Amino acid sequence: AADEAQLTQVYLVTGGCGFIGKKIVELLSQQDYIKEVRVFDSGAREEEKIIPGKTRASSCIIGDIRDYNLLLAAMRGVHVVIHTAAIVDYRNTVPFWEMKAVNVGGTENVLRACCVLNIPYVVYTSSIAAVGPNTLCEPMRRGNEDTKYSGEVELPYGKTKAMAEKLVFEANGKNNGGKLTTCIIRANTVYGEKATFLRDLYLFAKAGNDVLDYLEPENTERNSTYVGNGAWMHVLAARHLQLKPDLLAGQVYYCYDDTPRRGFLVTHQLLSSVDPSIRLGSRIPYWKMWLIIHLHRIIKALLYPFWKPQPFLNLPLLNTIVTTFSYETDKAFRHFGYKPLFTWQESKQRTVQWLKAAAGNEAQKVLALF
């Protein structure tokens, strides 16, 4: 096992300006054992080039994960890579080939560069969507990392994450002058500050007379994790991948904390804490939503290219929403001492605080139009 003194190292976070990536960078920059945190992200803005924190040097490189040569240059002198960069698209707004080029091709580039530069450690951010639900919509209720679940993955995004996972598993233990050690963290629905889907749901509820309707049957379970806890799990995994490589190498870990598993109730709690007038409505029956999705597709096809509507719910996403897919695990605690940094109450409070400000800003923009 590596000695604690050897952990004065350079970390690189791909996608470090993204939702979870930014929080990982923030936590890494507070760790005394890290000398430098680098960010590689295509969406970085000029003001994000320097990251405040305790670390002696933190910098941001603007670049596309598909650009191997640029990535290779950014990775020189790096000891640990936390690879979060991905196109996260549940609504099929991005062509599959493009999502595959980033999520699979980008991961291939990271692993290839690690082998060329002898970078020994990679933590990969995957998704529960890489596992399921499958096209038969078979549920998984409170499984764990060892639960056997098979069949073709329903969501196109999930397919790309499953392909990338395979590459990360295969890369573990590869030698090119030094051994590459990898592990995978499977995120789920991640919420918190800057979770734009919550802001959109809030505005949607306000537009619908303060009523939040939902699609999930009452007994449906899905895990959600606060962004700060998900990020903390990455920080600990990256550190212990070095301290206990024999234990963590080639392993997969589900993200978890004490957020309740009932998705629509969590959403309602968050939104009603921002605005107490928002009340939980009724469940929209599956058949009705199925019909609306198909009608929307027909109308869109008939009116294209004159009408290009906002992204709408699609059948794979509807099936994912209504299918129980949950897990119960303490593997991250057993392997590297992970405990959530934030309780459900603290996570809720921090999210609500941001949401109030974000919703207020959006409301002001709408008023400015009139």
Active site members: 157
- DSSP secondary structure letter of residue 18: S
Task: Report d(CA 348, CA 340) in Å as an integer.
Answer: 14
Task: Report d(CA 193, CA 202) in Å as an integer.
Answer: 14
DSSP secondary structure string for all residues of 210-277: TEEEE-S-TT--B-EEEHHHHHHHHHHHHHHHHHSHHHHTT-EEE---S--S-HHHHHHHHHHHH-TT
Task: Report d(CA 238, CA 80) in Å as an integer.
Answer: 7
To the nearest 5 percent, what fractions of the chain are helix, strand and coil?
45, 20, 35
Of 4, 51, 2, whose CA–CA distance to 28 is shortest? Answer: 51
- Cβ atoms 216, 264 nearer than 8 A: yes
Task: Report d(CA 241, CA 173) in Å as an integer.
Answer: 13
CA dihedral (61, 67, 73, 74) positive or negative = positive
Please name the residues in contact with 332: beta carbons below 8 A apart, sequence gap of 6 or more.
233, 236, 237, 253, 254, 256, 338
Task: Report d(CA 1, CA 135) in Å as an integer.
Answer: 42
Of 191, 190, 173, whose CA–CA distance to 182 is shortest? Answer: 173
Of 125, 191, 87, 154, whose CA–CA distance to 325 is shortest? Answer: 154
Q: What angle do CA 219, 345, 329 make, to 5 degrees?
A: 55
Q: Tell me if residue 315 falls in helix, strand or coil.
A: helix
Tell me, letter by letter, the H, E, C secondary structure of 185-221. EEECEEECCCCHHHHHHHHHHHHCCCEEEECCCCCCC
Task: Report d(CA 91, CA 111) in Å as an integer.
Answer: 28
